[in-house]
Chains A and B, each alone.
Chain A
Amino acid sequence: MKRNVLIAIVAVAALSLIASAGTISGKVSGVTGESVVYVDTIAGKTFPPPATHPLIDQKGLLFQPHITVVLAGTTVDFLNSDTVAHNVFWPSVGGNKKLTHNLGTWPKGEKRSFKFDNPGAAPLFCNVHPEMSGYVVVAPTPYFATTDKSGEYKIENVPDGSYTVTAWHEGAKNQSKPVTVSGDTKADFTLSK
């Protein structure tokens, strides 16, 4: 009996949570290519980072994928799949140059990892191949999405409430705007370089 009651309570709680979660969707215009949209820091709330490590591969003199979005606190693995020596460094995170870091050199097939604790975009470079670049965009919340080819995005399972939503694009100025989420909510951005 007690067990059935417990199940019922959990089910009701889950349903109520789902019922109060919405989506943020819209379009990022003014730029071409992939953009990132994320819900900015929510006061008083922290989110545990995922146990899995996203992988960024250096292959064919490219960072693959070019843009990786992670939750703050996530550990990212960097793999060298090329037969040439590579390096990974970033001069700043979110424009903060004190967060510069150089991961060094490692041979083909090996990985090095780094835990990104600070929100913001970290531009990735290789100091022997200046044409190589990539980005780790560190979002302060797990509510983020990347745009498709047409600039459309959709962030799902965002609890109802008022937030600041930020759009980021490579080489463009970030744009933030307040958004009140209640069910399906629209937020469009127009970025400029």
Chain B
Amino acid sequence: MPTRHRIALPLVLVLMVTLLSVSSYAIPAFSRQYGTSCSTCHVDFPKLNDFGKAFKDAGFKFPKDDETFIKVPPVMLGAPAQKDLWPHTIFPGTIPGLPPIGLRYNTFFQVAGNSRNNFNAQLPGDPTAPFIPRTDFQSGLFSIFMAGNFGSDIAFWVDDDISVGGGPDGGLGDGYLKFVNIGRFLKLPTDALSLRVGQFELDLPFSPARSWNLSGWDIYDQANVGVMNPAFKQQNVNNPFALSNAAQGVEFSGGHTYRGYHYSVAFVNQNTSGNVSAGNNVPPVVGYTSDSNFKDIYARFSYRFNLERDPASRNEIQAAGATGPRDHTYLNIGGLYFYGRSVQRFSDEASGNVLTAREPFYRVGADFSLNYRTFNLFGQYIYGHDHDLLQVPNTFVKGTPATFDGGFVEADYLALPWLMTIMRWDGVNSRADRINGIGSTPDDSIGSFVSPFHSTRNRFTPGVQFLVHANIKTSFEYQIRPQQVVYDPVTGNALTKPFRTNTAVAGLEFVY
């Protein structure tokens, strides 16, 4: 790959990821079913308030007396009395009375700073090199999503990006069934155990798929792909796993996200190659997504301390304020751990044998969220570590582990019910990032193509969001990126003075 492409491509990818990777959802289907506004469950959609968290925990149902709130009666799949006849009849359930479909569309306008083409301009010209315009209108996502409850505490969710960036199918987001409170069969306390099966976003502290920001939190998108580069501290990790990826598998969870403890343990596929396999002798249903025998493991535990003075209010879903219900004042702290085994297969040139590199990796993190009335301060720290096996003739030798760390801190202030201001800092310090960008800087202690100092990616992002209606939102974000320098790939001399590539993004989205 030409050096300038190697430099510019990640920048373009960063921009694309920034603009296009965030899938956020409010659920108009629930509004229709319950005859209630988005703000029943959302602060600034899709950010959930305490009631929305309880609604989700309960399997997309009102936590108590759900049937009394439904304005469109569900369709009975069998008389309720049929339950008494089971197992000699199909256990009756329900389907929503209205097709529980919601749609979402968003569009963006971006303005990039004067230094946006510094990398390309400073290097020998290539007519095929990416060009970043000053301004750009961008189509975002057109998504369909369905969610609800089939009765018997069985919840479902399917979302799919019908179109991304005005182009073709963006693919399935989440698609799962959740069997809520199955612990009752084991005489466990209420809500102590639920089971989710299908494709889903990992139970992260702050959902990238349901983020309310225009740009995603960088740390959740951090993969660990370090190229073989004999000229420098080479790595042989090719692990595309990022915490924001949708995972296929099963998840056990329990507790609540609006008070007390919450946990989840998931067993999910590992796919290092990015390919889906098939076999003539063992034909799969739709293809084998795993390219490893090992199932990755994700675990999360959190505890939320509701800090209301009134003990009765403290245990309610929403706190009882002097002028009405509101979100609790709370402190939520948690931790996450992911363990997987990245698998790469190589053909050894000397022997012709297939060499399999199994590179265990883990991600460990801690998070907090502090809420006071309409002010929410929260953050996430994650450390990632991949074993590095360097290929030598007919075997591997242990290399320098590929590590990264970083996170974000964000402060949201709901100044008015329809106006939220955001201050946010993202930082990621990745060894793989530095090595990938080695072509532009001779010294990784200085930095890579993205940043000359310490972090390979960091930015400060103030923003503001307006709810035009409860289902229409316009958002503004200004991304202040770190200082960068373009180096001559041969001499290592700086070709530019330090500069920043700041961008302003405006977004408009609606759900219906």
Contacts and interface: CB of A to CB of B under 8 A. Distances in A.
A83 B324 contact: no
B414 to A, nearest CB: 13
A169 interface: no
Contacts of B37: 129-131
5 contacts: A61-B35, A104-B324, A126-B324, A128-B51, A128-B325
Contacts of B39: 128-130
A83 B325 contact: no
A107 B312 CA distance: 10
Nearest to B321: A105
A128 B323 contact: no
Interface residues of B, number: 26
Contacts of B187: none
A60 B40 contact: no
B510 to A, nearest CB: 17
B337 interface: no
Contacts of A59: 68
A89 B324 CA distance: 9
Given A61-B34, A130-B37, A130-B39, A105 B68 contact: no
Q: Which of A87, A89, A105 has the most CB of B within 10 A?
A: A105
Interface of B: 34-37, 39-40, 51, 62-65, 68-69, 71, 312, 316-318, 320-326, 470
Contact of A61 (B69, B321, B325): B69
Contacts of A105: 320-325
Contacts of B62: 83-84
Contacts of B35: 61, 131
B29 to A, nearest CB: 15
Task: Identify the 9 closest CB pairs spanning chains A and B, nearest first.
Answer: A87-B324, A85-B325, A83-B64, A105-B320, A127-B324, A102-B323, A83-B65, A130-B37, A131-B37
A154 interface: no
A127 B35 CA distance: 16
A189 to B, nearest CB: 31
Contact of B323 (A60, A104, A131): A104
Contact of B316 (A61, A82, A85, A127): A85
Contacts of A60: 68-69, 71
Contacts of B326: 128
A85 B317 contact: yes
Interface of A: 59-61, 82-87, 89, 102, 104-107, 126-131
B306 to A, nearest CB: 14
A128 B320 CA distance: 11
A153 B325 CA distance: 39
Q: Which of B36, B71, B318, B470 has the most CB of A within 10 A?
A: B36
Contact of B322 (A61, A104, A107, A130): A104
Q: Which of A59, A83, A84, A106 has the most CB of B within 10 A?
A: A84
A61 B68 CA distance: 9
Contacts of A130: 37, 39, 470
A86 B325 contact: yes
Nearest to B34: A61
A128 B36 CA distance: 10
B324 A128 contact: yes
B323 A129 contact: no
A89 B37 CA distance: 18
A30 B339 CA distance: 69
Nearest to A59: B68
B336 to A, nearest CB: 31
A61 B51 CA distance: 14
B40 A128 contact: yes
Contacts of A61: 34-36, 40, 69
Q: Which of A61, A82, A85, A126 has the most CB of B within 10 A?
A: A85
A104 B326 CA distance: 11
A126 B37 CA distance: 12
Nearest to A81: B68
B318 A85 contact: yes
B258 to A, nearest CB: 12
